[in-house]
Amino acid sequence: MSDRAVVTATAARFATRAFDELKRKGMHIDVRYDFDGFLREACAQNRVVAPEQFDPNNIDLLNGRGFWLHGQDADGGTAHIQAMRLDMLAENSLADYLKTLWPRLNRGRIEVPSELMERISGSAAYSGAAWTREDFRHQQIADWACRLAHSLALMVWWPGWIYGLIDVRAVDAGHARRWGFSEISMPVFTWQDPPPHSGDFALVAARRSHTVQMTMAGHEEFFRRASPTPKSHPSTESAPVDTRRNTHCTARKRDQRPDA
């Protein structure tokens, strides 16, 4: 088999292990592609700070360029969500892309682009919009689910980079490393009109070579130090967003009302 085929087969074995481990913890994971369904889950109880990052009206998610994980408990209730999309940057840098995208979607601004942001180009998979229900937190659900999502992205897209934009407090709590990111630049993004529970954002990323290395090693560096996620600031564990300030969700509800 080719090198890519070997990596893909190894990633598939890890994905099976992750699905089984999450099921053992009481969570059934489905891989879904309907982003209208994702937005309904993301906006329910205002779970996600920036659901517009995966709104098909704003972002090209067609032709297999996005998927999301839907974790459900034994009764079918939503317990975890997380989404991935493929950004085709070509010769443009991630800095160029985000300086256009984020102010339009998130009422924020990119600070002076970091060296890391300037280096990322080509195909880049964005990992974001993760939320875990409170009774499933501190069980490594987010750790397993994030590495599962990255493994699936590697299998399907073979991206040059996987990146995310996360609250700097989550970085301080050690979550970026636990989720499989190897490079961190912070902060790189500042809200102009911040939703509650949100702070400045850091850029976290991993080259394909790093993700491949972790995959071929069976993510053993993760399992060696596996232990319950340390309790930290609520914002690092996907605290719910105040209904009044999640403007994207309230705008969607307004737009979806039938005409009088």
Would 241 be classed as within a structural domain?
Answer: no
SS3 content of the chain, % helix, strand, coil (to 5): 45, 25, 30
Q: What is the pLDDT of residue 25?
A: 95
| Domains: count for the chain | 1
CATH code, domain carrying 40: 3.40.630.30
Q: Which two tokens stand for residue 129?
A: 């919009």
Position 95 pLDDT exceeds 70? yes
What is the spatial distance between Cα 63 and Cα 71, in angstroms, rounded to a whole number?
A: 23
pTM: 0.83
Would 115 be classed as within a structural domain?
Answer: yes
What is the average pLDDT across 59-64? 87
pLDDT tens, position by position, 128-167? 988 999 999 999 899 999 999 999 999 999 999 999 988 8
Q: How far is CA 199 from the centre of its chain?
A: 17
Q: What is the pLDDT of residue 243?
A: 32
Q: Which two tokens stand for residue 176?
A: 């970026």
Would 160 be classed as within a structural domain?
Answer: yes
Q: What is the pLDDT of residue 195?
A: 57
Q: What is the pLDDT of residue 245?
A: 40
Would 244 be classed as within a structural domain?
Answer: no
201-207 and 161-167 strand pairing: antiparallel
Would 199 be classed as within a structural domain?
Answer: yes
State the residue for tokens 């070579």: 209
Number of neighbouring beta carbons within 10 Å of residue 21: 16
pLDDT tens, position by position, 184-230? 987 666 666 665 555 677 889 999 999 999 888 877 766 665 544 44
Would 238 be classed as within a structural domain?
Answer: no
Would 33 be classed as within a structural domain?
Answer: yes
Would 105 be classed as within a structural domain?
Answer: yes
Q: At what angle do helices 3-24 and 208-216 cross, to 10 degrees?
A: 70
pLDDT tier at 47, thresholds 50, 70, 90: confident
Domain that holds residue 32: 3-229
Q: What is the pLDDT of residue 186?
A: 78
pLDDT tens, position by position, 238-256? 433 333 345 556 555 545 5
Q: What is the pLDDT of residue 52?
A: 80
